Each structure stands twice: as C-alpha cells, then as structure tokens.
Chain A
Amino acid sequence: MQGRDNLLHRRRLEKVFVAVALVLIVSALLVLLSLTAEMFIDGLPRLNWKFFTSFPSRHASDAGLLSAWVGTVLVISLAAIFSIPLGIAAGVYLEEYGRDSWLAAIIEINVTNLAAVPPIIYGLVALGIFVQSWNLGETVLTGGLTIALLMLPTVVVVSREAIRAIPASLKEAAYAVGASKWQVIWDHVLPYSLGSILTGVIVAVSRAIGETAPLITVGALTYIAFLPESPFTSKFPYVSFAWLQAPFTVVPIQMFNWISRAGTDFQANAAAAGAVLVILTLLMNGVAIYLRYRLRKAVQW
C-alpha cells in the first residue's frame, strides 16, 4: 500500500513538472507575442507609406526610414555578395578536400571560434582595418565588408552541415563513371545541398539585417538626409559604383537613434522601425523553417 502511495506521489511530481514546463514554453511565446504587439501598437501612428519615403527629420511626424532602409538593402546585398560564395567555397574545402589535414583542423577550430566572437569585436576590427588602415572611410563599402566578415562563419558552418548530409554513395556513383573531384562537387554535391545551404543563408541574412553594434563602431551615421547615387545610370556604362563610397545608416541604427529620444514623439518612430525589423525577421525565419520542413520531407536518403 505504501508503494502505491509512493508511486502516486511520484506521478504527481511528474504532472507538476510537465505543467511548469508548459507554462515556461507558453510564456516564452508570450514574450515573442507581446514584443511584436508592443512594436505595432506603439508604432501605429507612423506605420504608413510616408514613413518609408521620407528622410529623418527634426519633426517626429515627418521623420522616416528612407535613407535607413536603402542603406540596409545596399549594405546587406554587398555583404551577401562577398560572404555567400566565399563561405560556400570554404565549406566545400573543409568538407571535401581538407578532411584530415592539420591545416584544415586549424581552420575548423577557427571558424567555430569566430562564430562565437561578439559582433562588436568585428566592428572594432573593421574600424581599425577598413576605416583606418585601408582608408575606405565610413562608407557603404566598409559596412558591407564588416557585415560580410560577421556572416562568413555562419555561412561556412551551414554549408558544411549541408554538404556533410550528402550520402557517400551518391559521390561514389559519380566517381565510378569517371567524374573528377570537382565534377562530383559541382554537378552532384552542390546541387543537392543547395536547398539546405539556402535555408541557412536566409537565417544568416536575417541576423545580419538586425546587426547594429558593429556598424556603430565603424561609424555609420545616424542622420542621413540623402540617398547614395543610384547604381544604374542612363549613360554608358549604365552602372555606377559611386554608392560604395557613400556614407550610410541602416534601419537598426536609425531605430537606436530614435530610442535615445524615448519619451518624445520619436518613440513612435522607434517602435515603427522595430515593427519593420520584427516582421522582416519573422518572415525570413518563417521561410527558412518552411524550407527546412519541406526539404526534410522531400529528401530521404
């Protein structure tokens, strides 16, 4: 009889634990929900078309995100152009070529460690190297290179994981019909792993969009009332790279600037910028989750 009581007691404890765990999960979700709601409720007065088409201003109701979102688009595109091919190439090397060499082992430890270095350290390095030593100035180019450095370890890690998931039998079949190593990689390994790499890259880009601290250290301005020159021109050669040399700001920095004036009307601007960032993050991560789900269902090796 005593044993039965004991068992009942232990079962009750188990129920309490499950209840506590569920409460914690639900409260984590509530945080996510209230955060999103807070941004939209506070930012409501500014969430209109004008907000996206006006420059920052001394008057909160006129101040908009135009130069900030253009800056974000330029900086992130540049960072993606630099870091994605480089990261995938590094991932291919580490998985397919340098498996057992000590050099590859060093690079591997390096990448793991770099992925955990605080972003603001990248900002300091970019300030010392890109801005001061290379004299690139506080420009879109510097911003793009900084974010590229920051994204690189993540892209390497996701590429490696994607490539590692390709079964050896697939590669062996290609080798058996006489393909060279690069042919195996280019024609078989990369096409099959591209889906998973893409998923990881979307998450990396979404994180890059929210990066604030490293761009503050390289000197991104908070007040930009003009746009960089358009990359497309009407005259030959139709493209211009002057925008690379332009000073810039990005959405999270503009938001930070508005937060520092919290308590005034600018708080609504900050919240509206926050709402834009949250929606972008949720959308991109949602797409990544969906892709991952689809891939797992579609491909069964």
Chain B
Amino acid sequence: MAKSEAVFSFTKVSASRRIRDIKEKAIEVVLFLAASVSVLTTVGIIFLLIEESVLFFQKVSFWEFITGTEWTPLFAEPSYGIWALLSGTITTSAIALVVSIPMGTIIAIYLSEFASPKLREICKPILELLAAIPTVVYGYFALLFVTPLLQKIFPELPGFNMLSAGIVMGLMIVPLVSSLSEDAMRAVPVSLREGSMAMGATKLQTAIRVVFPAAISGIIASYILAASRAVGETMIVAVAAGLQPNFTFNPLKSAATVTAYIVQVSLGDLPRGTLEYQTIFAAGLALFVMTLILNIIGYLLAKRYREIY
C-alpha cells in the first residue's frame, strides 16, 4: 500500500514536471523572440537603406555621388555630389571633437586620478546631464546664445554657421568622452601607479606617462564613439548650421550636414518613389556606413582594454 502510494505520487510529480518543462521551454522561446527583435531592426535598417539607394543609383551615377561636390536636387539639371553635405558633417564634427576631446580628457584624468571619491560621485552624474538635454534645446542655445557671442569676435559671422553648431555639439559630447575615458583609466591596476610613484614621479606624471598610455585603447574608443555621435547629430546642426548645402570646410560659413539635409527634405511632403524621396535614403546610407565603421572600431578598442588586465 505504502509502496504503490509512493509510485503514484512519483508519477504525479513527473506529470507536473513535464508541464513545467513545457512551460519553461515556451517561456524561453518567447524571450528569444523578444531578443531577436533587435536583429530584425538591424536587418530592416540595412535592407531598407540599400533597397531605396539601389533605386536611387539607377538614376544617379554612383561615381558622381561619391566624388561630386554639388548637391542641387531641385535644380533643372540636378547634381548629387554627397561631398557638398559631407563637408558640413566633417567640419561640424571636427569642431565638436576639438572642443570635447581636450575638455573631456582633462576632466577624465582629474576625476580618475586627483578627485576624491566623493567629488567624483557628485561630478559624474551632473556632467552627464549635459548629454541628457534634448538636442533641439541645444540648437536654440547655439543659434540664439552662442552665435551672438561669437559674432562679437567675428563680426562677419553669418547667423547660421558651423562654428557655433560645432562648439555646442562638442559641449554636449564632453560627458561621453569624460565618462568612458575615466572608466578606462580607473581600470588600470593600482600597482602600475604605485610603481611609478615609487620612482619619484608626481601624480600628474604618473597620470600622463603611466595611466594614460595604459588606458589608451579605451580612451581612443571614447574619442571614436564621440565622433560617431557628432556625425549622427541632427537637430543642433539643422537649427544652427543652416540648411543650404555648401561645399566648404570653413567653420565661419553656413552649410548643411547629411543629417540636416534629411530633416529639411522630410519637412516637406514626400511622395514615395520620387527621386527626392530616394535621396534621403542614399544620404542615410552614407551616414549609416560612416557611423557603423566608427562604432565597430570603437567597440573593438573598448573590448581590448578590458582584456589586458
């Protein structure tokens, strides 16, 4: 009697176990599907950008696109030279990096090597607020606060100019550089610092000649990710740098970036299948390829510094 009861409860357990196993498997499948949405998004991005760009390049020569310096899609004889937009993207991004790299790096060295833990805990989140402000607000700031200030130094400066947009974009990116570089430097083992100080080096010498080189791949990764952010930034340049394509690398001029061009076209009505509709996808593909290359380099470098120690 006792024995059969034991057998009975054993089969009962195994039945509920089986139900449980099925449930577990079903949950795993659901979770996997949720995770694969990200892959679908990537596939969607690549597929769509290429699909519309292929249609675009059936009408416009690829060679003209990647070497031309005139972007006049609305003219009677239109030109599609992406360099007219790339020059704006490159100039504004370069200015942004000139601002954010030195500023971010010095702040990172200070926070990592000099600041007390308490000061660091307070400074880091407050600095990160700079990156949280909506970019359209930064656009307003660049156009109506920074540009008038700059016009006191350069009286010739037009109301829309790449200098002011670039500087403000750089300020926005500072926390990205400072936080990632600081993480990289703090991952350097203390023993390296102790070795340097035991040889009589000051804190600053240790920071610059020992910690900085040891963390270099992580620091460069932060620079590259900053560049990628600057290249893809849209609203600041659309508001403050102007919407007119202009092949120039002069920061005191007004010029549209790749992103600003996409915004400008989207503000109008966009019937599908027209060449104008396809231009924004071709411009988007150029943008995507640039940021993808930067992101991959940044990812690989960031991964490397984690592996060394």
Residues of chain A touching chain B, judged by Cβ–Cβ distance below 8 Å, are 7, 10-11, 13-14, 17-18, 20-22, 24-25, 28-29, 31-32, 34-35, 38-39, 42, 85-87, 89-90, 92-94, 97-98, 104, 106-107, 109-114, 116-125, 127-129, 132, 149, 152-153, 156, 180-182, 203, 206-207, 209-213, 216-217, 219, 222, 252, 255-256, 259-260, 262, 267, 270-271, 274, 277-278, 281-282, 285, 289, 292
Given that A14-B204, A89-B35, A259-B143 are known contacts, is A28 also in contact with B132, CB under 8 Å in the complex? Answer: no
Chain A residues closer than 8 Å to B35, beta-carbon distance: 89-90, 93-94, 98, 104, 107, 156
Is B31 in contact with A90, judged by CB distance below 8 angstroms? yes
Given that A89-B31, A120-B232, A281-B133 are known contacts, is A216 also in contact with B266, CB under 8 Å in the complex? Answer: yes
- Is B199's beta carbon under 8 Å from chain A? no
A255, B225: Cα distance in complex, Å: 28
Q: Of B22-30, B79-87, B210-218, which binds chain A?
A: B22-30
Q: How far is the CB of B305 from the nearest CB of chain A, in Å?
A: 16
Q: Which residue of A lies closest to B30 (CB)?
A: A89
Query: Which of A92, A182, A213, A282 interacts with B235 by CB under 8 Å?
Result: A213
Given that A32-B130, A35-B133, A107-B35 are known contacts, is A121 also in contact with B288, CB under 8 Å in the complex? Answer: yes
Chain B residues closer than 8 Å to A39, beta-carbon distance: 137, 140
List which B136-153 residues lie within 8 A (CB) of chain A: 136-141, 143-145
Taking chain A's interface residues, is the majority helix, strand, or loop, or is none over half, making it mixed?
A: helix
Given that A121-B45, A213-B259 are known contacts, is A28 also in contact with B127, CB under 8 Å in the complex? Answer: yes
Known: A32-B129, A89-B30, A256-B238. 14 other contacts (CB 8 A): A7-B202, A28-B174, A31-B171, A89-B31, A93-B34, A97-B28, A113-B292, A114-B38, A210-B133, A211-B134, A212-B235, A217-B263, A256-B136, A285-B125
Residues of chain B touching chain A, judged by Cβ–Cβ distance below 8 Å, are 20, 23-24, 27-28, 30-32, 34-39, 41-42, 44-45, 48-49, 51-52, 103, 106-107, 109-110, 114, 123, 125-130, 132-141, 143-145, 171, 174, 202-205, 225, 228-229, 231-235, 238-239, 259, 262-263, 266-267, 270, 272, 280-281, 284, 287-288, 291-292, 295-296, 298-299
Is B34 in contact with A86, judged by CB distance below 8 angstroms? yes
Given that A90-B34, A180-B20, A207-B132 are known contacts, is A120 also in contact with B259, CB under 8 Å in the complex? Answer: yes
Is A93 in contact with B132, judged by CB distance below 8 angstroms? no
Is A203 in contact with B132, judged by CB distance below 8 angstroms? yes
Q: Which residue of B lies closest to A206 (CB)?
A: B132
Chain B residues closer than 8 Å to A153, beta-carbon distance: 38
Given that A98-B32, A281-B133 are known contacts, is A117 also in contact with B288, CB under 8 Å in the complex? Answer: yes
Is B144 in contact with A120, judged by CB distance below 8 angstroms? no
A270, B140: Cα distance in complex, Å: 8
Chain B residues closer than 8 Å to A216, beta-carbon distance: 263, 266-267
Write 25 A-B pairs (CB below 8 A) sorted by A numbering: A14-B204, A17-B114, A25-B123, A28-B130, A35-B141, A38-B141, A38-B145, A113-B42, A113-B295, A116-B229, A117-B45, A119-B234, A120-B259, A128-B281, A149-B41, A156-B35, A203-B132, A210-B136, A212-B134, A213-B238, A219-B270, A256-B136, A267-B144, A271-B140, A281-B129
Q: Which residue of A lies closest to B232 (CB)?
A: A118
Query: Which of A14, A104, A114, A120 interacts with B42 by CB under 8 Å?
Result: A114
Is A113 in contact with B234, judged by CB distance below 8 angstroms? no
Chain A residues closer than 8 Å to B28, beta-carbon distance: 93, 97
A213, B259: Cα distance in complex, Å: 9
Chain A residues closer than 8 Å to B296, beta-carbon distance: 113
Is B45 in contact with A125, judged by CB distance below 8 angstroms? yes
Chain B residues closer than 8 Å to A90, beta-carbon distance: 31, 34-35, 37-38
Is B202 in contact with A11, judged by CB distance below 8 angstroms? yes
Is A124 in contact with B110, judged by CB distance below 8 angstroms? no
A17, B44: Cα distance in complex, Å: 48
Chain A residues closer than 8 Å to B299, beta-carbon distance: 109, 112-113
A119, B228: Cα distance in complex, Å: 12
Q: Which residue of B lies closest to A128 (CB)?
A: B48
Given that A22-B110, A113-B295, A116-B295 are known contacts, is A210 also in contact with B30, CB under 8 Å in the complex? Answer: no
A153, B37: Cα distance in complex, Å: 10
Is A252 in contact with B266, judged by CB distance below 8 angstroms? no
Q: How far is the CB of A137 from the nearest CB of chain B, in Å?
A: 13
